[in-house]
Structure 1
Amino acid sequence: MRAVSIDALHRSEGAKLQRFLRRTLGNPADAADAAQETYLRLVRAITTTDLEHPRVFLFHIARNVAATLAKRRRFETSLFQSMTDLDLTQIADSQARVEAQIIAREQLRLVAASIDRLPPRCREVFLLSAFEGLPNSAIALRLGISQRMVEKHIAKAVLDTYQRCRDFF
């Protein structure tokens, strides 16, 4: 019996309710959502209460639903507006920079560990060449070895480091 009265109310007031909600919300999609929510709330209310004036109650519910929906839409608009005020490319760029820094640190750790595994003389020659920038002849003089041996140590260091690190780079 109650379902029939809701159905009758929908038939008699449905078009008026849609116009009211469209005018109030300014958007047919929001009006349709609000109408559906209005009828759902009406069904819940009617199961617990006898209504003397269901039409008045229907529009009272619709006004509350429309106000809530309009408030939510304003909040969403302000939220998305504040997000567009942020330069999302800057956020993405900063995240990419952080990620690149983390990757670079890991690569550096891997290279450092690889250099640490070199034989002591080979490591010493490589560090003098790569980090102190000494020419091969100066390294040979400093360590009392031939320039050819310096070249062999550097080649070995580069090759070993490359082989240990190639999968990561």
Structure 2
Amino acid sequence: MFDDKKSLARELFERNHRAMLRYFTRKVGHDAAPDLLHDAFVRVIRRDQIESIADPPALLQKIAINLVCDFARRRKTERTYLRPQHFLDDAPSEDAPPEDWLEYDRKSRLLDAAVDALPPRCREVFELCMEEMTVREIAKRLGISDRMVRKHLAHAIQVCRAALD
């Protein structure tokens, strides 16, 4: 049974991988497309009774659409929650009272000290994030997993929030 499932999945992959890769590239970009292609076929292989699927290309299309939606949702979450820029308000205007400038300066120093106290890899991840790199770009650049990047960012954000409270 496993050989049948494996050969059906291989045949489905051979027939559809180019079109799916083009679709993913259009939707999520060149860097993330191969990963989503891989994820799509992993989902197919994990399905029970693959041989009983009435329309395998339609199933692939539905899986691809779901993966793109998941990817977009994950990106939105990363932009919303994993961006550290929200720790500090915008710098006060030139007309602002001196107290506002003092408070801004105090918070800036606290934040700098918190970032300096982070473990080296965590600090590096945080600083790359501040340069507007995505989680995937940071992971690729540092040779670590997306999950590890998220863990470092979560820790850095927690430390920064604690420093400012």
- TM, length-normalised to structure 2: 0.50
Identify, as 1 or 2, the structure richer in helix.
1
User: Which has the greater radius of gyration?
Assistant: 1
